[in-house]
Structure 1
Amino acid sequence: MTCSPEEISHHLLDVARKAGADAADAIVIDGSSVSVEVRGGALEHAERSEGTDLGLRVFLGKRSAIVSSSDSRPETLRAMAERAVAMAREAPEDPFSGLADKDQLVTDWDIESLELSDPAPAPSAEALMQDALTTEAAALAVAGVTQVSDAAASYGTHHVHLAATNGFTGGYARSSRSVSCVAISGEGTGMERDYEGDSRTFQSDLRSAEEIGRTAGERAVQQVGARKPETGSFPVLFDERISSSLIGHLLAASNGAAIARGASWLKDCLGQDALPAHLSLIEDPHRPRISGSRPFDAEGLPTQRRAIVENGVLNGWTLDLSSGRKLDMASTGNAARGVSGPPSPSNWNLSLTQGDQSRADLLRDMGTGLLVTSMIGSTINPNTGDYSRGASGFWVENGEITHPVNECTIAGNLRDMLRRIIPANDARPYLSRVVPSLLIEGMTLAGN
């Protein structure tokens, strides 16, 4: 008899108590996915996976241990619990570990309003292959595209359930649907590549496969003839496709785990300016149909809308229970976890205040500089915020794009960079991170 994720999680708690655990929590993830890749108008790879993964965390006082498995048979659950308790007895004490108190737990949530799972029937493997073929054909139809290295479509669902001996029990289902394409232009040493893709919770929201392929092809062709830019100090415009990476660095530096370790360039900046005064960074885990939405975190605490940065000022850290206890602060309801590790702080949906200018306006105003559309590698000093990344994109002179560029490095200091960003108004509202193109003046470019 097949058990539901909820039933398995409660079985895990029962066997943990019987094995001698003082407290425990269990997470069970039941999922399935189908992915299809095509090449040259024919199927190249198809994969289907189904499985149930489960994790058990037990506590003996302030000692804890975690075990995981993909086998939900009763004898396996008992063995997991016994092994976890034996491991916990040998583990060092952690004064900051432990489950949430009952008065911290979420007691009511509206899962329907979040629309995390598409009620429409799952697409067939044939439908996925047709999307991938359409995407490839659309890219190849763009003049100048010589090949498509990757055209793919996928669909997946998973059901998550969390239960703990403090009385919390809750779960939700999530679906995802995606199409992607990587196109290549030119030949030999002059080959260039670019991509496009879309991923949505609901099939009906997904952009057309033809549009995705065509966009990937057009972008690849635009890269033909790329060369190194000048070396010097220039304004840099981070395209909306990659601008969220800058905000990602701010989020990493304001993560409670990094703050508790003292390994963050923001550690002494609480209550200080982190962005320009007219900008705010808002986290909202309750946006419908968005991948980062959830009704509760991985410790059973309610998720909440909050201003990480408000009117330029850094308001607080992103905390789970453990990092909050280390910093003598309350959790912000941002715990995330998989089946084989403990909870850790993580951010949900983010949106940065948009500007009142278009990307074209910012290009016009920047004069001569670099429009970055792709980045590779990174050297980020977590303690100082010193920033260096490989980049490619387009050179801009007198406000006009003149030619593609590659093999350059952009550098600066994140603390200074983020306080000087100028946002455009082109952010895509359906993404989990809604961040527009961002202009930063006076960055260091290393090219020729």
Structure 2
Amino acid sequence: MSSEIDSSTLLSRASQLIDLARKAGADAADAVVVRSRSQSVSVRLGKVEGTESSENDDFSLRVFIGQRVASVSANPGFDLQALAERAVAMAKVSPEDPFACLADEASLSRAYPDLQLLDTTEVSSEMLREAALAAEAAALAVKGVTNSSGAGASAGMGGLVLATSHGFEGSYMASRFGHSVSVISGEGTGMERDYDFDSRLYYAELDDPAEIGRRAGERVIKRVNPRQVPTGKDVTVIFDPRVARGFVGHIAGAINGAAVARKSSFLRDKMGQQILKSGLSITDDPLIVRGPSSRPFDGEGVSGERLVMIEDGILKHWFLSTSTARELGLETNGRGVRGGTAVSPSSTNLALEPGDISPEDLIRSVGNGFYVTELIGHGVNMITGEYSRGATGFWIENGELTFPVSEVTIASNLKEMFMRLTPANDIDRKFGVAAPTFAIEGMTLAGR
């Protein structure tokens, strides 16, 4: 991983680009550089299959002329003046967008905290190779594991450099390290696959590769010889934390201001109403020190603050960028994310806050039900809330996990699922979306 993290030169070029855009006729402009540095190693059955290394600084310039806006992108080494003139020429012939604008000057971040997002530890390709091999070897050593789908290790960092025509200049970098492994148990048509991984901002905080491998091996051997179960209604389904995080992502998508503005969210008319059970809350906090998705300011230069998006079951906020907020008659809450030349709202460190019951007691309280460890397919309609996913996991009988289950489908409507959700207390906040184990009552299970 490159040790070059100084952004001063890029910030200077971004500021020059804005000045040139203003001289070319732009009323306002912002320039952003999305930075990335990464290296990775993948192995399979004890041999290196691939190594990758990349460094990118991608420039984007956005200019405004009245209500007209245009954006252009370029790689380092481009001609600043030519890019600025091109963007302005494009804006002059663009259709008007009544909501496109820079963030209000009053909302810009003038001072922001050090969130300790960057670990400058130098990780060599050899260290990555050894970690990947160790994870795979530990997984293959678990009795019953028959093959490997591969293991990998990675190190990298990324960040943002932003300058605007109304005075904002800022930059930050965040590191990211990861280990992963995927293995197989069984033979022929009876093969099953599972995996484990860890991802952290700080290299020293990563789980030991051998521990990751052991967990992956132990997970996969439990899945051998799965069965189908009878079709049933009013089944209690428990979501393992790995799939629970994805489910919370559906909630985030439904309260995204862009989806609300497009009228493509089934919660678009639910602001101020109860959408989760009383007592449940979902928080979003961009300012957690060493948080996996923390950022000192958003893609428009606005500092966000911790928000309780859903409080005691009541919907309190949408995720908002400046343009989305204007479209909805609101103000940004610092959730704008740069995606190429566009800005759209998104969550930061999002968490379904935990309950008081342990996952073991939650399983015992179910009696008979279904514990889901993996979901398949994309059967979620965010306009209506209809939910139907293929699932694998374990049958719960008399409050205990028993035999593995596959080739079943779980279905309901997200509105009803949200109101029937009961969380356990085992939240792990090392991921950008955090969720504990939780149970949802009253689902339909389609089996044999």
For the aligned pair, the TM-score class normalised by the smaller chain equals over 0.9
Matched letter for residue 400 of structure 1: E
**Could you tell me whether the CA contact under 8 Å between 2:195 and 2:216 is conserved in 1?**
yes
**Could you tell me whether the CA contact under 8 Å between 1:100 and 1:166 is conserved in 2?**
no
User: What's 2:423 paired with?
Assistant: 423
Deviations 1:88-146 (A, max 9, x none): 122110111111221111111112xx110013x31110001000000010000001111
**How does the TM-score come out when normalised to structure 2?**
0.96
2-structure distance, mates of 1:316, 1:290 = 21
Matched letter for residue 91 of structure 2: A
Q: Report whether the alignment pairs 1:63 with 2:68.
A: yes
**How does the TM-score come out when normalised to structure 1?**
0.96
2-structure distance, mates of 1:157, 1:431 = 16
User: What's 2:3 paired with?
Assistant: none
2-structure distance, mates of 1:361, 1:128 = 39
2-structure distance, mates of 1:227, 1:182 = 22
1-structure distance, mates of 2:391, 2:82 = 50
Matched letter for residue 408 of structure 2: C
Matched letter for residue 434 of structure 2: V
What is the correspondence of 1:145-160 to structure 2 with a 5 Å cutoff? 145-160=145-160
1-structure distance, mates of 2:301, 2:72 = 19
Q: Report whether the alignment pairs 1:314 with 2:315.
A: yes
Matched letter for residue 102 of structure 2: L
Deviations 1:400-447 (A, max 9, x none): 222111111111011111111011111113222221011011101111
Q: How far off is 1:3 after superposition?
A: 7.2
User: What's 2:50 paired with?
Assistant: 45
Percent of matched pairs sharing the same residue: 48
Aligned to 1:440, the other structure's residue is in SS state strand
User: What's 1:93 paired with?
Assistant: 96
Q: Report whether the alignment pairs 1:78 with 2:81.
A: yes
User: What's 1:354 paired with?
Assistant: 354
User: What's 2:291 paired with?
Assistant: 290
What is the correspondence of 1:81-230 to structure 2 with a 5 Å cutoff? 81-111=84-114, 114-119=115-120, 121-230=121-230
2-structure distance, mates of 1:80, 1:445 = 56
1-structure distance, mates of 2:136, 2:13 = 42
**Could you tell me whether the CA contact under 8 Å between 2:353 and 2:427 is conserved in 1?**
no
Q: How far off is 1:59 after superposition?
A: 0.9
The unaligned stretches of length 5 or more in structure 1 are: none
Q: How far off is 1:293 after superposition?
A: 0.3
Q: How far off is 1:167 after superposition?
A: 0.8
Deviations 1:140-175 (A, max 9, x none): 000111111120000002242111101111110111
2-structure distance, mates of 1:179, 1:375 = 22
**Could you tell me whether the CA contact under 8 Å between 2:71 and 2:87 is conserved in 1?**
yes
Deviations 1:169-220 (A, max 9, x none): 1110111100001111111111100110000000111000001011111111
User: What's 1:382 paired with?
Assistant: 382
**Could you tell me whether the CA contact under 8 Å between 1:8 and 1:28 is conserved in 2?**
no
Deviations 1:371-408 (A, max 9, x none): 00011112222222111111111111111222111111
Q: How far off is 1:72 after superposition?
A: 2.9
Matched letter for residue 299 of structure 1: E
Q: CA RMSD in A?
A: 1.3
User: What's 1:445 paired with?
Assistant: 445
1-structure distance, mates of 2:164, 2:198 = 36
**Could you tell me whether the CA contact under 8 Å between 2:70 and 2:94 is conserved in 1?**
yes
**Could you tell me whether the CA contact under 8 Å between 2:184 and 2:194 is conserved in 1?**
yes
What is the correspondence of 1:318-357 to structure 2 with a 5 Å cutoff? 318-338=319-339, 340-357=340-357
User: What's 2:248 paired with?
Assistant: 247
Matched letter for residue 201 of structure 2: T
User: What's 1:266 paired with?
Assistant: 267
**Could you tell me whether the CA contact under 8 Å between 1:23 and 1:58 is conserved in 2?**
yes
Matched letter for residue 97 of structure 1: A
Q: Report whether the alignment pairs 1:301 with 2:302.
A: yes
2-structure distance, mates of 1:3, 1:417 = 49
State the aligned residue count: 441
Q: Report whether the alignment pairs 1:30 with 2:31.
A: no
